[in-house]
A and B are shown apart, each in its own frame.
Chain A
């Protein structure tokens, strides 16, 4: 029993040191949402317990290796004892108690967060997040706005509806802590309350193919008033045909390949396109009416313009753009006489 004194003392001292370290260490990415407080404090609590167990086990382990090592010239075997039922029961029951208590606490934490598996409440800002290989789109259905940057107000709870087009992705802003998968054929929800103004990134957390590593989109958290101003502007643009189209064309990179002044880029110019005849690579001619324009956007390979290559224009606009965005860009093309 005397042998127990040193390791016990060491356990106590080092546990205190370890707990103090856990308390001070920056264990996680800088927080930027209200939910982070609860997640971080649960994490810290877990680490306190782990630290104590780690110290307890390691001290006794290392102490035993030292104290009970076979010394030079020593022969013979160790002390002969088989078991101690009291001890075994103790180190079964104590962990059971910790598990039950912590399980209860863990269930409370996630329930109190009201972040997953909850209905939308009236004052949540609703955002539909759609993941596709390898980009994100964000729609604000109540305002009729769609973007590729996620812009959020500080201090207001946001109700994310998470969807996926092709494969599973996972919506995660590390600073907001909680992540949730976007799954084809299933809508997941996540409610978060950003509370730090700043710039972050949505980082896809589920392996989704070639460019998974780069499936990141900017997140901007603004003061409530700034957010309102941004949103008013977006709404104005969305409802103004002369502005909505150019914005969509910029956002999806159309103007990188299509000029609006008649010059030839990777793709044909949009100037004077609408309503005119287009000669196609297969020798036929079509009139560029609304249906043709629409088809050229959602299914670029259906008709190839003469003198241009197939497979250059991205083929996923059908899933990445909303109906309204497609209509907006068509309306815009039609203004380019």
Chain B
């Protein structure tokens, strides 16, 4: 029964019980109504919803709230003792932001490995024209699942960085609502399980975009995909409330808005987008599920519905979501550059406000995904111009980063290498954007590999590389140990080279007419060799990531004990012991200077009360 003391185990057991119970009740109701008791879609739908709730019950998400509701006292704050090993905390409903941050990050990596394996599988098939190792349906399922699983992984990664960093960076003891925070993590877990289980329940062949009518016709797996994304979306919304309140209300004394670490600005913009937009994808997907289950014809022209309507609702989230993925990553770039360049971030205010501007404009560009649906000239042109405008704040960031490099004393440790890699990759991602924004050229490159290469550049440059940079950079903070610099560098070079092999070939064949999302391609178009290059690149990336995982596991267990502030950072989190105690600072730190005054003799950012201060 010791096993049962781990929240995760309880949650899984309760979840399965809930799933079965939900299914049984539905079958009973159906039988009572005189319908056939078994019908896979409705029975599994209610089953998975009930299972999600019992999962949360099992992990203990509602325990404290339930005590309060009964008028009793909840342990406050729970799990504050620090005796015994720490790792069981990671398997439990633990309200500490640092623990939640690590839970999110590790989950993100696991989910990302899953999505990556899917990609490596279908990349083999794509290496040559003709079908060699799978059916076209299998390809469609793998490709669709790869997309949504990677997006889920990114959302988890964003949650990881936000939770781990925000409270420490702003000098707060924890998030504003610690239990809500833990809920935001734990509710994502059943959502992720549902998304992945779509592969085993028939798959779905719609791509991650799930457009109806194809999504309505797709196999049962589609239902798990839609519901899973809905649940993961709840996690985003709940999480973002917390980030916003924490950033607004809990900054250390003296930390004005323009003295916040720049990453916090990125997260603030991100959280606003998540809070406002996520419900739209939830709603769009829920409507498709209702159309599938109950025949409600929201998107069925035969019933007075509108096919294109779905795309508007969907992209109203899914474009801004792109900025949810990249703003934290760009925040990491801005955060780490000054440390490794030993110079202030150039144009702090401009960089900070550019994130807010990107978030705002991000809401006005969604239909650039829909030029080929025949929006009409007025909308086409309006969305073209708003989309091009995104280049302006992004340009401000790029030039400010260049100016930050200028005159520095640059060192090239692994986190910095990943930051520099992101810079290059995201630059190419950004520069390939306008081709998709101009209507005339978009109607050519839309739905080709050009777009695939473009958004992989934005995702790798805006999230994946910065995320790796962040993991390496804050690894000593989270574990108290140092990672292997040598393996880190091998990881970096493999990924950098592999990634570019992959995308440069994609850009080129995309421009020459290689359609995206196809299991097989016309050999007469001559894309075979290029596809082989792409596959080779993808495998190099895969090897790099494997080395990363080995490095992380080995270093977390046996790595050298890290010095207190290995990067000589001025940021508050590095003035704490590693890993920091619950509640972080014994007394709130006081902000007495600008965040990145490297190179200014005697400058200091925060004053931390003596006992917990770690040498600088």
Measured CB to CB, the residues of A under 8 A from B are 27-29, 38-39, 42-43, 46-47, 49-50, 53-54, 57-58, 60-61, 64-65, 68-70, 74, 76-84, 87-88, 91-92, 95-96, 99-100, 102-103, 106-107, 109-111, 113, 116-117, 166-168, 170, 172, 174-175, 177-181, 183-186, 188-189, 201, 203-214, 216
Contacts and interface: CB of A to CB of B under 8 A. Distances in A.
B319 interface: no
Interface in B283-320: 301-302, 305-308
A117 B376 contact: yes
A18 to B, nearest CB: 12
B559 interface: no
Nearest to B568: A77
A54 B428 contact: yes
Contacts, number: 272
Most chain A CB within a 10 A radius of its CB, from B349, B388, B396, B448 = B388
B377 A117 contact: yes
Contacts of B213: 166-168, 184
Given A50-B432, A205-B447, A29 B513 contact: yes
A210 B447 contact: no
5 contacts: A29-B513, A80-B344, A117-B374, A181-B372, A181-B373
B367 to A, nearest CB: 13
A86 to B, nearest CB: 11
B50 interface: no
A84 B403 contact: yes
B388 A207 contact: no
Given A180-B372, A207-B205, A209-B214, 20 more contacts: A28-B511, A28-B512, A38-B440, A39-B441, A46-B435, A69-B412, A76-B409, A78-B598, A88-B400, A91-B395, A102-B434, A113-B440, A116-B374, A170-B372, A179-B443, A179-B446, A186-B306, A205-B446, A205-B447, A205-B448
A102 B437 CA distance: 11
Contacts of B600: 80
Contacts of B443: 39, 116, 177-180
B74 interface: no
Nearest to B405: A64
Q: 7 closest A-B pairs (Cβ-Cβ)?
A: A185-B301, A174-B513, A78-B343, A77-B599, A78-B408, A79-B407, A80-B599
B515 A92 contact: no
B388 A102 contact: yes
Contacts of A61: 402, 405, 420, 423-424
Contacts of B567: none
A90 to B, nearest CB: 9
A184 B398 CA distance: 43
Given A64-B410, A113-B440, A180-B374, A77 B342 contact: yes
Contacts of B599: 76-80
A81 B344 contact: yes
A46 B434 contact: yes
Nearest to B403: A87
Interface in B27-47: none
Contact of B136 (A29, A46, A177, A210): A210
B350 interface: yes
A210 B392 contact: no
B420 A65 contact: yes
B493 interface: no
Q: Which of A84, A111, A167, A211 has the most CB of B within 10 A?
A: A167
Contact of A95 (B136, B341, B391, B522): B391
B539 interface: no
B9 interface: no
Select the residue from B373, B432, B448 with max chain A CB neighbours within 10 A. B373
Contacts of B395: 91-92, 95
A205 B597 CA distance: 52
Given A46-B434, A106-B438, A185 B347 contact: no
A64 to B, nearest CB: 4
A203 to B, nearest CB: 6
Contact of B512 (A29, A82, A188, A204): A29
Contact of B301 (A69, A184, A205): A184
Interface string B397-427: 0111011011111111000000010011001
Contacts of B206: 207
Contact of A79 (B140, B408, B513): B408
Interface string B450-494: 000000000000000000000000000000000000000000000
A64 B440 contact: no
Contact of A103 (B374, B384, B409, B448): B384
B342 A78 contact: yes
